[in-house]
Amino acid sequence: MEKFVVTIGREFGSSGKEIGRELAWQLGVECYDRSMVEKAAEEAGIPPEEVAMADETVSSSANRMFTASGISLGMIMQADTAIAAQNRVIRQLAEKSSCVIIGRCADYVLRDHENCFNIFIYAPYEVRLRRIMDLYGFSAKQAERSVKRIDRQRHNYYKYVTGSNRGDRHGKQLMIDSSMLGQQGTADLLYEIVCKRFDLEIKRR
């Protein structure tokens, strides 16, 4: 069987990370999220602080006009170097074995990969707020601030790296509202779709 990769982009509070992990478990493949990619990057010689700095820098704006926010050209160059190194790690992980990769603009990084299936998971704003309130014990105002902040950061990061909007349908093979079937139901449906896409035998685990 040829190696395949499933990438998952997601809105904060849509259960995208949990769905991705469940999907990987059902497929019997590795799952890489931000922490796993950063760990692999560290093993490749990229200091964790450089990765964190890159995230913070590019999340400050979606374009390269950074003078108003106090971000220097040197910081931008450092961020670009760290992002390029992370992208190399993602490509290496994809070549190593079949896997699910959550976030990190993996759909864009692996855009030339032959066996790549790109998914974007979203949910209505109110559903995401309720989930964040339940998950973290936040008040409604805290949840709203958190969702808006992280949505903005993820949008800016994706825009900086790819030049396009995070939820753009172009480059995605499937976009799904996780509130329709819930976390487990969405993972189960995605498992069946991925199996059909890559001609895999469906095995319920």
Which tens digit of pLDDT belongs to each residue from 91-102?
999 999 999 999
Distance (Å, whole) CA 44 – CA 25: 26
| pLDDT, greater one: 78 or 107 | 107
Is 147 within 8 Å of 127 (Cβ atoms)?
no
* pLDDT category of residue 52 using cuts at 50, 70 and 90: low
Predicted pLDDT at 36: 72
Q: Is 158 in a helix, a strand, or coil?
A: helix
Of 176, 33, 174, 185, give the one whose Cα is nearest residue 100: 33
Of 38, 41, 26, 32, give the one whose Cα is nearest residue 8: 32
Of the chain, the percentage scoring pLDDT greater than 90 comes to: 59
For tokens 């969405």, the residue is 186
Q: Is 105 in a helix, a strand, or coil?
A: coil
Chain-centre distance of CA 167, in angstroms? 11
Tokens of 115: 């066996």
- Checking if the pLDDT of 64 tops 60, the result is no
Query: What is the model's pTM?
Result: 0.87
For 151-202, the pLDDT digits (tens) are 988 898 898 888 888 878 888 999 999 999 999 999 999 999 999 999 999 8
Integer-rounded Cα Rg, in Å, for the chain is 17
Predicted pLDDT at 169: 85
- Across 79-93, average pLDDT: 85
Opening angle at CA 170, ends 164 and 174, nearest 5: 125
Tell me how far apart the terminal alpha carbons of the chain are, to the nearest angstrom. Answer: 20
* pLDDT category of residue 59 using cuts at 50, 70 and 90: low
Domains (range + CATH), the chain: 5-197 (3.40.50.300)
Chain-centre distance of CA 97, in angstroms? 18
- Checking if the pLDDT of 2 tops 90, the result is no
Distance (Å, whole) CA 190 – CA 192: 5
For 103-145, the pLDDT digits (tens) are 989 999 999 999 999 999 999 999 999 999 999 999 999 999 9
